[in-house]
Amino acid sequence: MAANPVNRLESHWPQTPEAYAPPQASDDTSWRETAKSWEQQLENFMGDHPKLTLAAAATVGLLLGWMVKRK
């Protein structure tokens, strides 16, 4: 439908075969490495500050419960 005059978005947003290509493996590994790094940092923080972690979890639980409570 690229040459169809009804397609008004063609000049602004052309349809290319590259747009439908699957993501590359290198992108996937970089996301995995980033997620693992965040996970490790979070685990270290939780291990270093257990009282703060417990207080934050309780606060979030209370707020969520208050927001979705039945009347």
User: pTM score > 0.75 for this model?
Assistant: no
Q: Residue 46 class from Cβ within 10 Å (0-12 exposed, 13-18 middle, 19+ buried)?
A: middle
**Cβ pair 20, 34 in contact under 8 A:** no
pLDDT tens digit sequence for 1-58: 455 666 666 666 666 666 566 666 566 678 889 999 999 999 999 999 999 999 999 9
pLDDT per residue over 53-66, tens digit each?
999 999 999 999 99
